[in-house]
């Protein structure tokens, strides 16, 4: 990332980071702040900043770039997603979700917890799961739609008492019991 900045913002880079000891401290701070992002996310964010800004980015601008714009991927903001998850009727798998990330964040947060807790308690839990899922989607991962269990092809009715006894006798006869 810093190599990309040095190449793109040559004069600004050398003016801002002229002291090697300070540059080491800055890199350590940035590493600690950006460690929650995948390396590919950081590279994408650095390229986005380079393409959209004439000036060397701040750490805050870099973090925003790494987070990406969820709307480009069809994702809602965390609070709107939380409201959707809380208002979705059961069974949850059959609901028409705006994005599968909302369903998976709700499932990871526990549906009962979301419905029985206050927003003050439940939203931070949901938001944490949702942001992780959003980051995965922004990194290119495709989330599958919730799997709705299919009904069996053949629905068998229970056997009558007499039929059960006949089958049991046939089994005993075949095993010589």
Nearest to 137 by CA among 41, 51, 30: 41
Residue 80 included in any domain: yes
User: Does 122 share its domain with 78?
Assistant: yes
Q: What is the DSSP string of 9-64?
A: THHHHHHHT-SHHHHHHHHHHHHHHHTTS-HHHHHHHHHHHHHH-SSPPPHHHHHH
- Reported as a single tens digit per residue, the pLDDT across 121-172 is 999 999 999 988 988 887 778 888 888 777 778 878 888 999 999 999 999 9
Residue finishing a domain among 68, 94, 114: 68
- Reported as a single tens digit per residue, the pLDDT across 14-70 is 998 888 888 999 999 999 999 888 888 889 889 989 999 999 999 989 988 887 777
Residue 118 included in any domain: yes
Using alpha carbons only, how large is the chain's radius of gyration in Å? 27
Q: Quick one: 14 exposed, middle or buried, by C-beta within 10 A (0-12, 13-18, 19+)?
A: exposed
Q: What pTM, to 2 d.p., does this model score?
A: 0.58
Residues 6+ apart with CB under 8 A from 156: none
CA dist., res. 28 & res. 34, Å (int): 10
User: Does 80 share its domain with 64?
Assistant: no
User: Does 57 share its domain with 77?
Assistant: no
Domain span at 122: 73-138
Structural domain tally of the chain? 2
User: Does 11 share its domain with 33?
Assistant: yes
Q: The tokens of 81 are what? A: 């997603």
């Amino acid at each position: 990332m810093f190599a990309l900045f040095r190449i793109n913002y040559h004069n600004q880079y050398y003016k801002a980071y002229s002291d090697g000891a300070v540059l080491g401290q800055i890199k350590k701070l940035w590493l600690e702040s950006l460690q929650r992002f995948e390396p590919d996310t950081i590279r994408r964010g650095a390229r986005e900043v380079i393409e959209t800004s004439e000036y060397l980015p701040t750490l805050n601008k870099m973090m925003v770039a790494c987070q990406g714009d969820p709307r480009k991927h069809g994702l809602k903001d965390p609070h709107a997603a939380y409201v959707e998850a809380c208002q979705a009727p059961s069974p949850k798998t059959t609901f028409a979700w705006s994005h599968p990330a909302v369903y998976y964040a709700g499932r990871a947060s526990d549906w009962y917890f979301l419905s029985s807790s206050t927003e003050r308690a439940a939203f931070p839990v949901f938001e944490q799961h949702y942001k992780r899922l959003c980051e995965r989607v922004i990194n290119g991962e495709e989330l599958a739609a919730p799997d709705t269990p299919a009904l069996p092809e053949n629905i068998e009715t229970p056997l009558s008492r007499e039929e059960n006894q006949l089958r049991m006798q046939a089994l005993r006869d075949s095993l010589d019991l």
